[in-house]
Amino acid sequence: MLCKAEIFQKLHLSSETFIMANAWNAGSAVILEDAGFKAIATTSAGVAYSHALPDSEAAVSFDMALDETRKIATAVDIPVSMDAENGYGDSAESVAENMKRIVKTSVVGANIEDYTGIANKPFYDQKLAVERIQAAKEAVTDLDYPFTLTARTDCFLANHPTPLKEAILRLNQFREAGADCLFSPGVKDIKTIKTLVKEVNGPITVVMGLAGSPISLAQLQDAGVSRISIGGSLARATFGLVRNAAKEMLEKGTFEFSNQQIVDSELCNLFKQNN
């Protein structure tokens, strides 16, 4: 655990931007590890889709999320961070208690957001949002390895009236509260990303794979971004392949989708370590 945690921590402190792909089950995690990723994260959206559920905290229980996270973290030898949504609790105390359960899944990092899920009040008040991050950090300070806490604000995704200004304010407050990495998803232009990197006092992570954001790794490296995640985009692309294959079979009567498959023997060899 110590080795994984230290590797994950050092990735964030390096001057080189790294991509942290997101897995939704043990199989996708092993594929990503085999491809060469140095670290991966779970995707709450992908976990929900894999159970035929919508992407919302109310649809996927904390116990279900923990179970999938444990399977992912124990299936690979690389560091894994959990997409822990809002910490599965509103109060700082509940976030702290839930963090203690999260660390038992063998992950070495987690992401806590300030999105409430309530339409007419999408953000926790600033004071409470900061207290929640502080509580999450304090819950992992006694571990014998460095646990990387990512604090996320959804100012851009939840249509805050002044998203950039509010994101900078909140992320800096989260950093002061102990967050190791800062995250404000939904930014689609390199100029805004550069502003976040400049104005936020800590490692910045961004999410790519969203429609309408054709920004390259090289551009993000140049901007000073620490980490790139892909959220649920890979899971959605996988479901897109299933739908397109279904349409091909039913509408064309052909099976060309099979040209993209990994052969059975290769998958069996790859997965036999988890048997």
Domains of the chain: 2-232 (3.20.20.60)
- Give me the mean pLDDT over the 123-150 stretch: 97
Q: What is the DSSP letter of 9?
A: H
Query: Would you state the pLDDT for residue 19?
Result: 98
pLDDT of residue 56: 82
Q: What is the pLDDT of residue 119?
A: 86
pLDDT (mean) for 224-251: 98
Task: Please state the pTM of the whole predicted model.
Answer: 0.96
Which one, of 150, 209, 193, lies nearest residue 22 by Cα? 209
What tokens were used for 136? Answer: 């999450």
What contacts 170, CB < 8 A, 6 or more positions away? 114, 126, 129, 153, 155
pLDDT reported for residue 178 = 98
Residue type, 22: N
Q: Is the dihedral of CA 20, 25, 27, 28 positive or negative?
A: negative
* pLDDT at residue 136 is higher than 90: yes
How much of the chain, in percent, has pLDDT values that exceed 90?
92
175, 150 Cβ separation under 8 angstroms? no
- How would residue 16 be classed by pLDDT, with cut points 50, 70 and 90? very high
Is the distance from CB of 17 to CB of 227 less than 8 angstroms? yes
- Would the pLDDT of 257 be above 90? yes
Q: For residue 1, what pLDDT is reported?
A: 67
Compute the mean pLDDT over every residue in the chain, rounded to the nearest whole number.
96
What's the CA angle centered on 29, arms 27 and 30, to 5 degrees?
Answer: 70
Q: Residues 234-247: pLDDT tens digits?
A: 999 999 999 999 99
Average of per-residue pLDDT across 158-167: 95
219 backbone φψ class: left, alpha, beta (φ>0; ψ -120 to 50):
alpha
Mean of pLDDT values over 77-88: 97
The predicted pLDDT at position 265 comes to 96
Tell me: the pLDDT tens digits for 105-130? 999 999 999 999 898 999 999 999 99
Three-state SS for 168? helix
Q: Which residues of 29-64 are buried (b: 16+ CB within 10 A; e: fewer)?
A: bbbbbeeebebbbbbbbbbbbbeeeebebeebebee
Burial class (CB in 10 A: 0-12, 13-18, 19+), 262: exposed
The set of residues, in sequence order, having a beta carbon less than 8 Å from that of 226 and lying 6+ positions away, is 12, 14, 17, 18, 181, 203, 204, 205
Rounded to 5°, angle at Cα 177 from 89 and 209: 70
